Amino acid sequence: MKRIPTALAIVAVIAAFSVSCNREKLPEGVMDEARMVDFLTEAYKLESFYVVECGFKYDNFSGEIVATYDSLMAAQGVTREAFERSIDYYSHHPEAYESIHNQVVSRLDDELSEIQAGLNNK
């Protein structure tokens, strides 16, 4: 009877090891999913502001958008190179990118709901 728990423990260790080995390690300079979600959530809000302000005419605000992105990157400690590497990496890993996008949309929906609830309570 003592062999069954030992065998289960060995199987569990092997399974855990194989799962961790199958998880692809991110290349150096690529933001992990959580950091991408944080960054893109703020970036989407910035983009939305400029879309509303300039009516989809980015040419009118292109310099300001670049400066705003630079400020966002500085505030979050993200370099342009890391951002570009991350976008490149996740564009080649669509399942991960979809997960990031879904988390960003969910977070934005939650923030919108909080704002609407606050407005309704006034």
For the entire predicted model, the pTM comes to 0.72
- pLDDT tens digits along 27-78: 999 999 999 999 999 999 988 887 787 766 656 667 777 888 899 999 999 9
Average pLDDT, the chain: 81
Segment 81-101, tens digit of pLDDT: 999 999 999 999 999 999 999
Cβ neighbourhood burial of 108 (10 Å; 0-12, 13-18, 19+): middle
Convert the pLDDT of each residue in 68-86 to its tens digit: 889 999 999 999 999 999 9
